[in-house]
Amino acid sequence: MEGHKFVLVFVLLALASSFASASDPSPLQDFCVAINETDGVFVNGKFCKDPAQVTENDFFYAGLNMPRDNSSPVGSKVTPVNVAQIAGLNTLGISFARIDYAPYGGLNPPHTHPRASEILVVVEGTLYVGFVTSNLANGDNRLITKVLNPGDVFVFPIGLIHFQFNVGKTNAVAFASLSSQNPGVITIANAVFGADPPIKPDVLAKAFQVDKKTVDYLQKQFWTDNN
């Protein structure tokens, strides 16, 4: 069974390679293994290690087959594999993630990736997934959803709010590939109510059409979680 799961993951990677250039610029050499030294200079990406000093470990990450603790407040755990974990991903325009979901409602909450599209494959459990479009001609934001079972694949377009929710009675696991070495993530509730410094309650109360007491409660909860 484990072998079948990882075959699906490899298929996912193959599919993802076709859109890997959709976000990040194309590389100008075989590879540009990232280094953290900047000498006070910052670039769009990472500086390159001397190619003569590159080793196989610069392109390697172990342990993605191991279950993660999904007992967070939202019932999920995302394990990213981006340029921060594999330095060799620098300039290659692709990254990866494992998501573990608790049974009975484990949630990867509504969020966006500002720099990447995402393709997700379910290997265990049943997920209710979806994304919300930007404003349509009539001003609406359309919700597009699907229930996924093992072996099913779903795509989340770049920058759109999306989520995954475990509707099953057992743990669920999915793997995702993203079209950027550093996709970024903005979790909507955390960003809005947990911003540092906080967004003025008057702004949020008017935007969400709720009273300031509700905003104060949410800001205290999310600001504590984030900070």
Dihedrals φ, ψ of 147, to 5°? -95, 125
The answer to whether the beta carbons of residues 57 and 88 sit under 8 Å apart is no
- For residues 227 and 224, what is the distance between their CA atoms, to the nearest angstrom? 5
> Is 162 annotated as ligand-binding?
yes
- For residues 95 and 65, what is the distance between their CA atoms, to the nearest angstrom? 16
> Is 108 annotated as ligand-binding?
yes
How many Å separate Cα 209 from the centre of its chain? 29
Is omega for the bond preceding 197 within 30 degrees of 0, making it cis?
Answer: yes
Burial class for 143, CB neighbours closer than 10 Å (0-12, 13-18, 19+): exposed
What the block records as the tokens of 95 is: 């990254």
> Is 118 annotated as ligand-binding?
yes
- CA torsion 160-166-167-173 (nearest 10°) is 120
> Is 4 annotated as ligand-binding?
no
The answer to whether the beta carbons of residues 49 and 35 sit under 8 Å apart is yes
What the block records as the tokens of 101 is: 């979901």
How many Å separate Cα 25 from the centre of its chain? 20
Annotated binding site for Mn(2+): 111, 113, 118, 162
Binding residues for oxalate: 108, 113, 118
Task: Could you list the residues known to form a binding site, using ranges.
Answer: 108, 111, 113, 118, 162
